[in-house]
Amino acid sequence: MSDSSTPNEQISNRKVWSIRRLFWRFILIVMVVFSLWELSVLARVWWWRDHNPSVSAFMRERESQRAQAHLPPLQAHPWVPYAHISSNLKRAVLAAEDSRFLEHHGFDWEGIRLAFKKDMRKGKLVAGGSTISQQLAKNLFLSEHRSIWRKGQEALITIMIESVWPKKRILEVYLNEIEWGDGLFGCEQAARHYFGSSAQGLGPEQAALLAAMIPNPRYYDHHRGHTKLQNKTATVLARMWLVSIP
C-alpha cells in the first residue's frame, strides 16, 4: 500500500520522530547520570561506616566562600572517636536537635507535623523538623541552598545512612562534621575555640551552649551573649537529662 502523505508531511513526520528520539535519549542519559550519582553516594556511605570522612560538601562550600572573601583557609579539624566525646555533649545535642533520635529511622514524622503546624501559624517557614540523620546527609553531600531537588536527595541519602550505619556511628560522624562557628567544624575544634577544652572534657553548661548554637553557629560565634542563645541554652540544659544516647 503506497504512502499517500505529501513530501511536506513526510518531512514533518521525520522531524517529530527525530525530536522524540532525542527526548528519550535525553531522559535515558539523565537516568544513567542520576543512577551513577546515587551509586557513588551509596559507595561513600558504605565506606564511611568504618572510615572517617575527610571533608564534607559544607566544608568545600565554606572553603570556596572564604577564598572568594580572601579569608584564611579552613583549619584541619581533628577527629574524635565516639568514646572520647563528652556524654554531656551527646545528650545536649540530642535534646536540642533530635530528642527521638533512637526511636525513628531517619525521619521524625511527629516533629515534621509539629513543625508544619508552627509554620502554618506563623505564615512562613520558621521551624525545621529535620533529624540529625537528615542534617548529616545534607552536610556530607549537599549544599545549604534549599530546593525540591535537594530535599529529595536529602531524603534518599538519609535512608542510605540509616540503613548502613548504626545510631552510634551516625551521632559520631555528626558531632565531628557539623559547623560550629565561623570556619569551625567538629566538636573538638568547637570545644577548643569556645572553652579551651577538649570535646571529652565539656561540662553540662558548656555542652548545652554548643548545642544551642547549632541552628546558626556562625552568627552566635560573634554574638555569644544573645538573649535567644542564652534562653535556648537554659532550655537544653533542662532537657538534656531526659534523652538517651546510643
Whether 39 maps to a domain, the answer reads yes
Whether 68 maps to a domain, the answer reads no
- pLDDT of 92 > 50? The answer is yes
Whether 40 maps to a domain, the answer reads yes
Q: How far is CA 51 from the centre of its chain?
A: 19
- pLDDT of 136 > 90? The answer is yes
Q: What is the pLDDT of residue 127?
A: 47
- Taking only the tens place, the pLDDT of each residue in 8-59 is 665 666 666 777 777 777 777 877 777 777 888 899 999 999 999 988 999 9
Residue 74: helix, strand or coil by DSSP?
A: coil
Whether 38 maps to a domain, the answer reads yes
Whether 37 maps to a domain, the answer reads yes
Q: Which residue has the cell 535512608?
A: 159
Domain boundaries, position 18: 11-47
Q: What is the pLDDT of residue 4?
A: 57
Give how many domains the chain has, as a whole number: 1
| CB-CB neighbours of 192 under 10 Å | 15
Q: What is the mean pLDDT of residues 100-114?
A: 83
Whether 15 maps to a domain, the answer reads yes
Q: How confident is the model at residue 107 (pLDDT cuts 50, 70, 90)?
A: confident
In the chain, the percentage of residues whose pLDDT exceeds 90 is 60
Element at 181 (helix H, strand E): strand 179-181
Q: What is the mean pLDDT of residues 156-183?
A: 96
Whether 237 maps to a domain, the answer reads no
Whether 99 maps to a domain, the answer reads no
